Amino acid sequence: GDMSSAASADCILSLIAALSAQPEICGVESAGMPTTMNDYAQWITQSGTNNYRPFWDQGVTGKNVIVQVSDTGLDTDHCHFYDSSSGELKDGTVQSNRRKVVQYVPQPDTDDSDVYDGHGTHVVGSILAKRSTDGTVGGEEAGNLEGMAKDAKVAFFD
Protein backbone atom coordinates (compact mmCIF):
# COMPACT_ATOMS: atom_id res chain seq x y z
CA GLY A 1 0.00 0.00 0.00
CA ASP A 2 0.91 3.64 -0.04
CA MET A 3 2.54 5.56 2.81
CA SER A 4 -0.73 7.17 3.96
CA SER A 5 -2.31 3.74 4.47
CA ALA A 6 0.69 2.54 6.46
CA ALA A 7 0.71 5.72 8.56
CA SER A 8 -3.02 5.39 9.16
CA ALA A 9 -2.62 1.76 10.25
CA ASP A 10 0.24 2.70 12.60
CA CYS A 11 -1.88 5.49 14.07
CA ILE A 12 -4.79 3.13 14.69
CA LEU A 13 -2.51 0.51 16.28
CA SER A 14 -0.98 3.16 18.56
CA LEU A 15 -4.43 4.33 19.59
CA ILE A 16 -5.54 0.76 20.35
CA ALA A 17 -2.39 0.14 22.40
CA ALA A 18 -2.90 3.35 24.39
CA LEU A 19 -6.56 2.61 25.07
CA SER A 20 -5.95 -1.01 26.04
CA ALA A 21 -3.38 0.11 28.63
CA GLN A 22 -6.05 2.05 30.54
CA PRO A 23 -7.18 0.36 33.78
CA GLU A 24 -10.84 0.80 32.80
CA ILE A 25 -10.37 -1.41 29.72
CA CYS A 26 -10.85 -5.13 30.37
CA GLY A 27 -9.92 -6.33 26.90
CA VAL A 28 -9.66 -5.47 23.22
CA GLU A 29 -10.45 -7.77 20.32
CA SER A 30 -11.23 -7.43 16.66
CA ALA A 31 -14.78 -7.67 15.40
CA GLY A 32 -15.59 -9.03 11.97
CA MET A 33 -17.78 -7.26 9.48
CA PRO A 34 -21.46 -8.14 9.94
CA THR A 35 -22.99 -10.13 7.09
CA THR A 36 -26.44 -11.45 6.36
CA MET A 37 -26.76 -15.17 7.01
CA ASN A 38 -30.46 -15.91 6.48
CA ASP A 39 -29.56 -18.13 3.53
CA TYR A 40 -27.78 -20.44 6.00
CA ALA A 41 -30.40 -20.07 8.73
CA GLN A 42 -33.15 -21.22 6.35
CA TRP A 43 -31.78 -24.71 5.78
CA ILE A 44 -30.10 -25.07 9.18
CA THR A 45 -33.38 -24.56 11.04
CA GLN A 46 -35.46 -26.54 8.54
CA SER A 47 -33.26 -29.61 8.17
CA GLY A 48 -29.62 -29.17 9.12
CA THR A 49 -28.74 -30.37 5.62
CA ASN A 50 -27.04 -27.97 3.21
CA ASN A 51 -29.60 -26.16 1.03
CA TYR A 52 -32.46 -28.53 1.96
CA ARG A 53 -35.62 -26.64 2.96
CA PRO A 54 -38.34 -29.26 3.53
CA PHE A 55 -40.85 -26.82 5.07
CA TRP A 56 -40.79 -24.66 1.97
CA ASP A 57 -40.84 -27.77 -0.26
CA GLN A 58 -44.13 -28.71 1.45
CA GLY A 59 -45.51 -25.18 1.03
CA VAL A 60 -45.09 -24.16 4.69
CA THR A 61 -44.01 -20.54 4.21
CA GLY A 62 -46.10 -18.61 6.74
CA LYS A 63 -48.84 -17.68 4.28
CA ASN A 64 -51.95 -16.37 6.10
CA VAL A 65 -50.01 -16.18 9.40
CA ILE A 66 -49.50 -13.05 11.51
CA VAL A 67 -46.57 -13.26 13.92
CA GLN A 68 -46.44 -10.98 16.97
CA VAL A 69 -43.02 -9.61 17.93
CA SER A 70 -42.14 -7.31 20.84
CA ASP A 71 -38.68 -5.78 20.50
CA THR A 72 -36.86 -2.50 20.00
CA GLY A 73 -37.33 -0.77 16.68
CA LEU A 74 -38.51 -2.11 13.33
CA ASP A 75 -37.40 -0.24 10.21
CA THR A 76 -40.61 -0.37 8.17
CA ASP A 77 -38.81 1.31 5.25
CA HIS A 78 -36.34 -1.59 5.01
CA CYS A 79 -36.68 -3.34 1.62
CA HIS A 80 -37.85 -6.57 3.31
CA PHE A 81 -40.77 -4.83 5.07
CA TYR A 82 -41.47 -1.75 2.96
CA ASP A 83 -45.07 -1.17 1.90
CA SER A 84 -46.04 1.52 -0.58
CA SER A 85 -49.59 1.75 0.82
CA SER A 86 -50.58 5.19 1.98
CA GLY A 87 -51.66 6.04 5.49
CA GLU A 88 -50.16 6.03 8.94
CA LEU A 89 -48.85 2.70 10.19
CA LYS A 90 -47.46 3.55 13.63
CA ASP A 91 -50.82 4.33 15.21
CA GLY A 92 -51.40 0.86 16.68
CA THR A 93 -54.34 -0.07 14.44
CA VAL A 94 -54.44 -3.41 12.63
CA GLN A 95 -54.18 -3.03 8.85
CA SER A 96 -54.29 -6.60 7.56
CA ASN A 97 -54.13 -5.52 3.90
CA ARG A 98 -50.52 -4.36 4.29
CA ARG A 99 -47.72 -6.39 2.69
CA LYS A 100 -45.66 -7.25 5.79
CA VAL A 101 -46.21 -5.03 8.86
CA VAL A 102 -49.93 -5.14 9.69
CA GLN A 103 -49.63 -3.42 13.07
CA TYR A 104 -47.02 -1.23 14.72
CA VAL A 105 -47.61 -0.26 18.33
CA PRO A 106 -45.01 2.30 19.42
CA GLN A 107 -43.85 2.54 23.00
CA PRO A 108 -45.56 5.55 24.62
CA ASP A 109 -43.46 8.68 25.08
CA THR A 110 -40.57 7.53 22.88
CA ASP A 111 -39.03 8.81 19.69
CA ASP A 112 -37.92 6.93 16.57
CA SER A 113 -34.24 6.82 17.57
CA ASP A 114 -34.12 3.01 17.79
CA VAL A 115 -36.09 2.25 14.63
CA TYR A 116 -33.21 2.05 12.16
CA ASP A 117 -30.74 0.33 14.46
CA GLY A 118 -33.29 -1.59 16.49
CA HIS A 119 -32.93 -5.24 17.29
CA GLY A 120 -36.48 -5.76 16.04
CA THR A 121 -35.42 -5.25 12.41
CA HIS A 122 -32.96 -8.14 12.78
CA VAL A 123 -35.41 -10.41 14.60
CA VAL A 124 -38.36 -9.79 12.27
CA GLY A 125 -36.05 -10.19 9.27
CA SER A 126 -34.96 -13.62 10.45
CA ILE A 127 -38.59 -14.59 10.90
CA LEU A 128 -40.34 -13.20 7.81
CA ALA A 129 -38.15 -11.05 5.57
CA LYS A 130 -39.18 -10.90 1.92
CA ARG A 131 -37.82 -8.21 -0.37
CA SER A 132 -40.05 -6.06 -2.53
CA THR A 133 -38.67 -3.76 -5.21
CA ASP A 134 -41.65 -1.40 -5.06
CA GLY A 135 -43.39 -2.05 -1.74
CA THR A 136 -46.11 -4.25 -3.22
CA VAL A 137 -46.71 -8.00 -3.22
CA GLY A 138 -46.33 -7.88 -7.02
CA GLY A 139 -42.84 -6.44 -6.60
CA GLU A 140 -41.67 -9.22 -4.29
CA GLU A 141 -38.74 -11.27 -5.44
CA ALA A 142 -37.22 -14.49 -4.16
CA GLY A 143 -33.82 -14.30 -2.60
CA ASN A 144 -31.45 -16.03 -0.26
CA LEU A 145 -32.06 -13.51 2.51
CA GLU A 146 -35.68 -14.41 3.12
CA GLY A 147 -36.85 -15.23 6.61
CA MET A 148 -38.11 -18.66 7.68
CA ALA A 149 -41.79 -17.71 7.35
CA LYS A 150 -41.23 -15.55 4.27
CA ASP A 151 -44.93 -15.18 3.45
CA ALA A 152 -46.03 -14.27 7.01
CA LYS A 153 -46.86 -10.79 8.31
CA VAL A 154 -46.04 -9.15 11.64
CA ALA A 155 -47.81 -7.25 14.40
CA PHE A 156 -44.95 -5.34 16.03
CA PHE A 157 -44.87 -3.89 19.54
CA ASP A 158 -41.97 -1.49 20.05
Q: According to DSSP H, which parts of 31-147 are helical?
A: 38-46, 54-57, 119-128
User: 44-86: per-residue pLDDT in tens?
Assistant: 889 999 999 999 999 999 999 999 999 988 998 888 999 988 7
The domain spans of the chain are 35-157
> Under a CB-based contact definition with an 8 Å cutoff, are residues 131 and 125 in contact?
no
- Report residue 99 CA to chain centroid gap: 16
**Torsion angle in degrees (nearest 10) through CA of 152, 141, 83, 39:** 60
pLDDT computed for residue 104 by the predictor: 92
Which comes out higher in pLDDT, residue 112 or 105? Answer: 105
pTM across the whole model: 0.73
Cα atoms found within 13 Å of the Cα of residue 14, Cβ hemisphere only: 6
Cα 51 to Cα 42: distance, rounded to the nearest angstrom: 8
